Structure 1
């Protein structure tokens, strides 16, 4: 429950690659966006012409989120199929020689000019979760309380082990690539909203960001909605996994709101340690290890997830999400995360095209 007992609304944005029958990226994202009828939610162009983005309506339940995500993927996939194309939910492209053409919008052209190869090679797909936190000062404090859990959220959603047709040795290569942006990474600890805004202003003055929309921290305050936005996740292989990330993040925000109200001190993880732990989570994924947020000991990701669930259980029960979350986590214990499943599909015949066939909607 929220600070005053109300149910927090939330929503999810997903980015996808557009590929041909063989799995190569195709620069027809704008065509697909303009040619697909919107039945709720929103379709958007992205920096790279071979990408598209969906955004759900504002939701109150896991069922609503899952329904929106499932329908929007199906609609986009059907529209793509009419054009001989497929929708690929992977954090990075799977095949080499893929198209990284910049979408012809003035802002995107300026980004490509200013940031060079970082922009032109930033073909990555993430999943962003917005959770209602209307007061911006409170949102900054919630960010402080949730940042220590970012590595386990990354490990849970890691779904990008390939790059250019090769195995990278990481479960989330997207995270590694995205970290090259000068405004990316985990948010610092902030003492106030003023501290947050002063940091953003300084980054703008430095030229590390072209505008406030380029604030790419893993958690940031939305400038357009009364929400806190979590940007740590790879795009999920399935709508169910994206919904799982969303309900766990909403649970974290609910608990953080309670902790803020009770003036509890957040777990403080130094920036350099948090970055190291995010690297470890990106490398190992769900079945690997990461540093425990409080003890700093290297432990299995599943042990941290179990502890996270113990802390969220009451909040998830209150919002009606507990049964869904427990069921999905049980499924992932059996099947492995998205990155693990991509690698399993590849290892059958050592063909990346098998992974494409496994993933495409």
Structure 2
């Protein structure tokens, strides 16, 4: 069974429901408790926890005495906190870690008079504040408004692979399905005080980065690494950490990292996402070993499918990966579940993931929750306050 790790980014907000730049202060408290690293340590490339090292590794940073359950780290904006789970073999451990670190992030925020909310964008107007540090300052200077306005929260799922060749084979075979994950996790309908008309406006804002989005098929791992080197050689992105593909090979760990999802409002939805991503990776690896060619889908089509997913969420049509044509979201989501169902069954994940998918389709996504609260209250700050409570469930 492939191990997995999850990274979640959370919004730091005050009791009234306004994002506040207290993430660095909360991290100082967490660092004193041994639950994270300070902004300065992170900027120096310190011992900070990453997600999903090799399966035989005790946990992120465990050899250095770090908490093997993961930890809290800074993000681009001071109105954010990020955490990484430990390396997990089953979804029950993923669920426990997500709830544990959401709780610890909230405790750190409470210590400085704030809370955390699993929101992929800020419903209320806010002036994003760049977290101090050399790398973040360089990004702000280099990318102007793209970086200055980038207050978004995503969820990244790492799944272990044997080596880079298997990893690239997986990347080639999962790319057409990734937009469906955006639809399932959509949790950013509001953007700085306005309804964006999208279920996931984070996905629209994120794709302003020059290195974001889908990519073409890779011939092999060497081809992949040449592309990364060519991107860095343009002197446009700051470093290899800014290779913001929808899915990529991790630099730190032998994993495929899927980066296309909004942070999910409900922790169980993030568990469902993790199960689907692991299912996609294992299905792709099996197909590769069996000699099944990767679907030859143009990146332009994948990009349009991703746009459609961000616009529609689970309430409209999505682009079906098998046909390239529109189909009801529920049908496309069911097709994804059917695609990975055999490996879910092998891992013992089938029932939990199927129930999770059914729950999202029945009650709606985080975007649907936010719009319901706003329709009832007419108050975007009330949306944030409600999300704070849902984040801890």
Aligned to 1:300: 328
Per-residue CA distance 1:187-236 (angstroms, 9 max, x = gap):
32111112111111111111231111110001000010010000000001
Matched, 1:74 2:112: no
Aligned to 2:73: 44
Matched, 1:164 2:164: no
| Residue 164 (structure 1) shift | 1.1
Match for 1:325 among 353, 356, 362? 353
| In structure 1, C-alpha distance between the alignment counterparts of 2:274 and 2:28, rounded to whole Å | 27
Matched, 1:16 2:10: yes
| Residue 107 (structure 1) shift | 0.9
| In structure 1, C-alpha distance between the alignment counterparts of 2:21 and 2:376, rounded to whole Å | 30
| In structure 2, C-alpha distance between the alignment counterparts of 1:66 and 1:113, rounded to whole Å | 38
Q: Could you tell me whether the CA contact under 8 Å between 1:131 and 1:227 is conserved in 2?
A: yes
45-54 vs 30-39, greater mean Cα deviation: 30-39
138-147 vs 27-36, greater mean Cα deviation: 27-36
Q: Could you tell me whether the CA contact under 8 Å between 1:291 and 1:297 is conserved in 2?
A: yes
Per-residue CA distance 1:260-298 (angstroms, 9 max, x = gap):
001101222211111111111000001221111121120
Match for 1:53 among 54, 70, 82? 82
| In structure 1, C-alpha distance between the alignment counterparts of 2:358 and 2:385, rounded to whole Å | 25
Matched, 1:32 2:26: yes
Aligned to 2:282: 254
Matched, 1:287 2:281: no
Runs of 4+ more than 6 Å apart: none
Match for 2:170 among 132, 142, 147? 142
302-311 vs 127-136, greater mean Cα deviation: 302-311
| Residue 99 (structure 1) shift | 3.5
Matched, 1:244 2:311: no
Structure 2 length as normaliser, TM-score?
0.88
Structure 1 length as normaliser, TM-score?
0.96
Q: Could you tell me whether the CA contact under 8 Å between 2:172 and 2:294 is conserved in 1?
A: yes
| Residue 241 (structure 1) shift | 0.7
RMSD in angstroms over aligned alpha carbons?
Answer: 1.1
Per-residue CA distance 1:224-264 (angstroms, 9 max, x = gap):
00100000000010111111100100001111110000110
| In structure 1, C-alpha distance between the alignment counterparts of 2:111 and 2:251, rounded to whole Å | 36
Q: Could you tell me whether the CA contact under 8 Å between 2:22 and 2:114 is conserved in 1?
A: no
Matched, 1:315 2:309: no
Match for 1:85 among 114, 120, 124? 114
Matched, 1:345 2:373: yes
| In structure 1, C-alpha distance between the alignment counterparts of 2:105 and 2:221, rounded to whole Å | 39
Aligned to 1:3: none
| In structure 2, C-alpha distance between the alignment counterparts of 1:208 and 1:347, rounded to whole Å | 42
Q: Could you tell me whether the CA contact under 8 Å between 2:23 and 2:109 is conserved in 1?
A: no
SS at 2:283's partner residue? helix
Q: Could you tell me whether the CA contact under 8 Å between 1:241 and 1:328 is conserved in 2?
A: yes
| In structure 1, C-alpha distance between the alignment counterparts of 2:81 and 2:347, rounded to whole Å | 31
Matched, 1:108 2:136: yes
Per-residue CA distance 1:80-130 (angstroms, 9 max, x = gap):
22322110111111111x231111111111111111111111110000000
What runs of 5+ residues in structure 1 fail to find an aligned partner?
A: 1-6
Per-residue CA distance 1:299-353 (angstroms, 9 max, x = gap):
0121011112112112111111111111112211221111111111111132112
Match for 1:94 among 96, 103, 123? 123
SS at 1:230's partner residue? strand
Matched, 1:127 2:155: yes
